[in-house]
Amino acid sequence: MNVFVVNCGSSSLKYQLIDSVSEQVIAKGLCERIGIDGRLTHKPTGKKEVVKEVAMPDHKVAVSYVLEALTDSENGVIKDLSAIDAVGHRIVHGGEKFANSVVINDEVMAAIEECNDLAPLHNPANLIGISACKALMPNVPMVAVFDTAFHQTMPKEAYLYGIPYDYYEQFKVRKYGFHGTSHSFVSKRLLEIIGKENQDSKVIICHLGNGSSVTAVKNGKSVDTSMGFTPLDGLIMGTRSGSIDPAVVQFLANKLERSLDEVITILNKKSGVEGISGVSSDFRDLDAASMEGNERATTALNMFAYRAAQYVGSYVASMNGVDAIAFTAGIGENNSKMRKAICDYLGYLGITINEEANAVRGEEICISTADSKVAVYVIPTNEELAIARETVALVLLFSDQPNPVNTKGTGF
Ligand code: ADP
């Protein structure tokens, strides 16, 4: 099966076409500046990259250019649209309605729309992406895969905030958590590696990228996670503050004579390691600045490691133990210094790091020593592949075809 994986933003659309049997990417690319002017960057595997500056007044036009590029006689990768068997859509917020991926129909679209309130920047764009694909591929089955779904197994004591219960009942104010597709993918792989897929297990996943979150996974289910009602909560991130005393918001609004909305924007876009260092949100720049003696860059890196270690420690307490820990995403996969700095806080768990293994980047590897009491791994995440697997599994569930897919790790 060929699965077209779509990740739609308000002015962008990222896509991959994945062969579900070999799990190879056939082509991938990005439409940018939709509704402004428009640029398509299309990368067919094994062929030349194509960059096209073309007017993209809306997402439907953008999708039509992508489909044209996929089927192009020269640089295309498929003969015609009949070679696309299913479409998997990444949806940011499924609220409490979606604890699993679902085949998209009108009812599902209406339910996603009801979650718009919870993710006003993302869900409407995701819905536009679905409509655009439906208009151009009306007979192709489509699946919605939610960033929040994996965390719907959290118990009440983890997801409720200490505010009047009414606000949970009336407005659904609670912790949802995000990066669920990645946490699910990496935790399944970790359990497979440590041979605990069908046993009692306690693992912690550190998804450290531009946006970062830590998740506690007990017996394969998310039981707590560091992001909250929105992705602003938890760890200190590239430009996001992470957890902060909410009274600071009002205090800053008064001092700066700005609205609450504006202060929240500062916490989302001008804070985190960028705001602290004044250098960059990218950890490569921070490492370089720190090496040159920039104290604020060093402070930002230290704060990031400290907060990450705090979350790991708190989840060890939540689960009353931990069997293994995995690092993933841009920083987790590539920044050995940061992994070491976080693990240095965890000596009390009996964790010791194998420096040589930890120097490896971007590969699946065990970075703890043989006698470490808790195994520590680097496991590259692949959200698009996870979406493709979910899509195939669901489409097959609702068809009579034999299962031709590599079901290893399928999220069910
Ligand atoms: P996003 O949340 O936008 O997907 P990523 O997971 O790509 O972010 O993470 C971005 C961070 O990962 C940056 O701070 C960057 O320093 C780091 N990173 C990404 N790739 C590399 C690499 N090859 N080497 C070192 N650091 C990297």
Q: How far is the CA of 209 from the centre of ligand 1 (A)?
A: 5
Amino acid at 395: V
Distance CA(31)–CA(110), nearest Å, equals: 26
Residue nearest to atom 19 of ligand 1 (CA): 330
Q: What is the pLDDT along the chain (412 residues), one digit of tens a residue?
A: 999 999 998 889 999 999 999 999 999 999 999 999 999 999 999 999 999 999 999 999 999 999 999 999 988 999 999 999 999 999 999 999 999 999 999 999 999 999 998 888 889 999 999 999 999 999 999 999 999 999 999 999 999 999 999 999 999 999 999 999 999 999 999 999 999 998 899 999 999 999 999 999 999 999 999 999 999 999 999 999 999 999 999 999 999 999 999 999 999 999 999 999 999 999 999 999 999 999 999 999 999 999 999 999 999 999 999 999 999 999 999 999 999 999 999 999 999 999 999 999 889 999 999 999 999 999 999 999 999 999 999 999 887 655 444 333 333 3
Residue nearest to atom 2 of ligand 1 (CA): 210
Looking at ligand 1, which atom is closest to the CA of residue 381? 6
Distance CA(43)–CA(387), nearest Å, equals: 19
Q: In this structure, how many other beta carbons lie within 10 angstroms of the beta carbon of residue 291?
A: 10
Residue nearest to atom 1 of ligand 1 (CA): 210
Looking at ligand 1, which atom is closest to the CA of residue 207? 6
Distance CA(103)–CA(143), nearest Å, equals: 4
- Mutate which of 186, 335, 361, 381 for ligand 1? The one with the most ligand atoms within 8 Å of its CB, which is 335
Judged by DSSP in three states, 327 sits in strand
Judged by DSSP in three states, 122 sits in coil
Q: How far is the CA of 190 from the centre of ligand 1 (A)?
A: 21
Contact 136, 60 (CB under 8 A): yes
Annotated catalytic residue within 37, 58, 106, 147: 147
Looking at ligand 1, which atom is closest to the CA of residue 332? 12
Whose tokens are 């694909």? That residue is 133
227's tokens: 């992001």
Looking at ligand 1, which atom is closest to the CA of residue 331? 12
Torsion of CA 239, 222, 378, 27, to 10 degrees: -70
Q: How far is the CA of 280 from the centre of ligand 1 (A)?
A: 12
* pLDDT tens, position by position, 31-43: 999 999 999 999 9
- Mutate which of 90, 181, 205, 210 for ligand 1? The one with the most ligand atoms within 8 Å of its CB, which is 210
Strand 13-19 and strand 24-32: the pairing is: antiparallel
Q: How far is the CA of 274 from the centre of ligand 1 (A)?
A: 14
Q: How far is the CA of 281 from the centre of ligand 1 (A)?
A: 10
Residue nearest to atom 22 of ligand 1 (CA): 334
Contact 388, 18 (CB under 8 A): yes
Q: How far is the CA of 213 from the centre of ligand 1 (A)?
A: 14
Distance CA(17)–CA(24), nearest Å, equals: 9
Contact 318, 223 (CB under 8 A): yes
- pLDDT, residue 117, reads 87
Residue nearest to atom 27 of ligand 1 (CA): 330
Distance CA(329)–CA(179), nearest Å, equals: 10
Identify whether 147 is a catalytic site residue. Answer: yes
Provide DSSP, 344-398. HTTGGGT--B-HHHHT--SS-EE-B-TT-SSEEEE----HHHHHHHHHHHHHHHT
The arrangement of strands across the sheet holding 24-32 comes to: 50-53, 39-44, 24-32, 13-19, 2-8, 86-91, 142-146, 102-103
Ligand 1 first shell, C-beta below 6 A: 209-211, 238, 282-284, 329-331, 334-335
Looking at ligand 1, which atom is closest to the CA of residue 211? 2
Q: What angle do CA 318, 319, 320 make, to 5 degrees?
A: 95
Whose tokens are 């970075």? That residue is 367
- Mutate which of 236, 268, 279, 284 for ligand 1? The one with the most ligand atoms within 8 Å of its CB, which is 284
Q: How far is the CA of 208 from the centre of ligand 1 (A)?
A: 8
- Mutate which of 12, 279, 331 for ligand 1? The one with the most ligand atoms within 8 Å of its CB, which is 331
- pLDDT, residue 404, reads 43
- pLDDT, residue 254, reads 98
DSSP symbol at 257: T
Closest Cα partner for 230 from 218, 240, 221, 238?
240
49's tokens: 């990259």
Residue nearest to atom 26 of ligand 1 (CA): 334
Q: How far is the CA of 182 from the centre of ligand 1 (A)?
A: 15
- pLDDT, residue 409, reads 32
Closest Cα partner for 306 from 346, 342, 270, 337?
342
**At 142, which helix (H) or strand (E)?**
strand 142-146
Closest Cα partner for 32 from 62, 65, 70?
62
Distance CA(326)–CA(333), nearest Å, equals: 10
- pLDDT, residue 402, reads 52
DSSP symbol at 400: -
125's tokens: 């764009």
